[in-house]
Amino acid sequence: MSRVCVHGLGYIGLPTAAMLTSNGHEVVGFDTSERVLDRIERLDLQFDEPELRSLVSDALDSGDLVLATEPETADYHLVCVPTPLDASGVGTQTDNRTELRKRADLSAVEAASDTIADELRPGDTVIVESTVPPGTTAETVRPILEASGLTAGEDFRLAYSPETVLPGDVARELRENDRIVGGVDDGSTRSAVELYDSFVDATVYTTTATTAEFAKLAQNTFRDVNIALANEFAKLARDYGIESREAIRLGNTHPRVDIHRPGPGVGGHCVPVDPWFLAEHSDRTELLECARRVNDGMVGYVVELVRSHLGDLDGRRIAVLGVAYKGNVADVRQSPTLRLAHELVETGADASFHDPHVEADSVAQSERVALSSLSEATANADAVVIMTDHDEYRNLDPQRMAERMRTPVMVDTKAMIDRDAWTDSGFDVSQV
């Protein structure tokens, strides 16, 4: 087996390091943050994942996973550092208006590449796993690495392989999801495939580095566009006085139709981010940008639904249930609820928040989101808004909720409740 240095121990790097260790590799887990390393050492993980805690514990106990504040030489270097959006973006002219297109912040990828260049030896393989715009591996990472004096494809191997895991089940998905691997040459592809074959129990597809980058972004952009279509259907259905989800369910009975579910927008690191990465080096982005506007605009639509029941929201108490971006996980990255918190403050509303999975320190940096218990969040509320499909919200008792609230209004963006039961309990109900 091989010696692997994993650069970045976040949502992907740490599970990957643990998975490699459990499959016989000697792994150095490198992160520039001593705080991150300290938390891992104490098994105080920033995300709640089945199986991950035991994998990390076993890896540390065996000594096959070594945590380091400095990189080390290795047969394989995996780049798993974050690639956030650069919110400053760049202005583009569309339909006589200037819009801000967001861009990828590749500073961490560039820094990791610089670091690897100092450790790079002939015969080593570098694999980028961070989500990046097409062309990044060949046009950004490669020149930085070749500043070492070594040449990609001749002296060392360079490839790209995107992660496609779902938060909440990362360990299983690392093993069972198909994998795409693309090298800057055939030898680089083969070397990367050898590493993934050691722990992936699924098909490993091979291509070029840029095609692999594009494919990952295309997957999530498809989802973003499909969700935007469902959200447009939801708003249209309201104009016709019908239930959007029932219409979508019936539409999906056709064998060639698969409309996604509407909701309050999209979150996580991938779906709201990847379309911008895909669009970074092209102007052929009308549909992508439209989908982004539709999905980001759903938070405003949720506020509109609340206003349809209460009118002016100034001074109204709104209880928001769910801060995580998806059900039954604690991940708040790009969560629509964080944007909703901002918009409610702008209306003058008094917003309270509850989430049974999210820890308070995960949202501590946002002074607009302070978590409280369910009873505290909904006490004397004028409206309840369900933003996340946590299982706990399926079992809410409408009668008990009505007794705590000042005004029985429910806005359910995830179709979690039985509308008839809540209406029978005196609630005015809107569902997305």
CA atoms within 13 A on the CB side of 142: 20
* Domain 3-207: CATH architecture, name and number where available: 3-Layer(aba) Sandwich (3.40)
Q: Look at residue 45 in the predicted model and tell me its pLDDT.
A: 85
Taking 70 as the threshold, does the pLDDT of residue 2 lie above it? yes
Taking 50 as the threshold, does the pLDDT of residue 98 lie above it? no
Taking 50 as the threshold, does the pLDDT of residue 146 lie above it? yes
What pLDDT, in 10s, does the model give residues 57-68?
999 999 999 999
Q: Is 414 a catalytic residue?
A: no
Q: What is the DSSP letter of 397?
A: -
CA distances from 15 to 12, 30, 80, 174 (A): 6, 13, 11, 8
Instruction: Record the pTM.
Output: 0.92
Taking 60 as the threshold, does the pLDDT of residue 95 lie above it? no
Q: Give the start-end residues of each E strand in 313-392.
A: 317-321, 350-354, 383-386
H or E element that contains 107: helix 107-119
Topology adopted by domain 296-431? Rossmann fold (3.40.50)
Taking 50 as the threshold, does the pLDDT of residue 77 lie above it? yes
Q: Where are the domains of the chain?
A: 3-207, 296-431
Instruction: Give the whole-number percent of the chain exceeding pLDDT 70.
Output: 96
Buried b (16+ CB within 10 A) or exposed e, 229-260: bbbbbbbebbeeeeebbebbeeeeeeeeeebb
Q: Look at residue 224 in the predicted model and tell me its pLDDT.
A: 98
Buried b (16+ CB within 10 A) or exposed e, 208-222: bbbbbbbbbbebbbe
Mean pLDDT, the chain, whole residue set: 94
Taking 90 as the threshold, does the pLDDT of residue 362 lie above it? no
DSSP tally for the chain: helices H, then strands E = 17, 15
Q: Using CA atoms, how far apart are residues 224 and 203, in angstroms rounded to an integer?
A: 25
Cα first-last separation, the chain: 51
Q: Look at residue 97 in the predicted model and tell me its pLDDT.
A: 44
pLDDT category at 165 given cuts 50, 70, 90 is: confident
Q: What is the mean pLDDT of residues 315-319?
A: 98
Q: In the structure encoding, which two tokens stand for residue 186, read together? A: 């055939």
Q: Is 216 a catalytic residue?
A: yes
- Of 94-98, 193-197, 336-340, the range with the lowest mean pLDDT is 94-98
pLDDT category at 364 given cuts 50, 70, 90 is: low
* Residue among 102, 216, 326, 414 flagged as catalytic: 216
* Residue among 80, 270, 326, 414 flagged as catalytic: 270
- Domain 3-207 and domain 296-431, same fold? Reply is yes
What pLDDT, in 10s, does the model give residues 260-298?
999 999 999 899 999 999 999 999 999 999 999 999 999
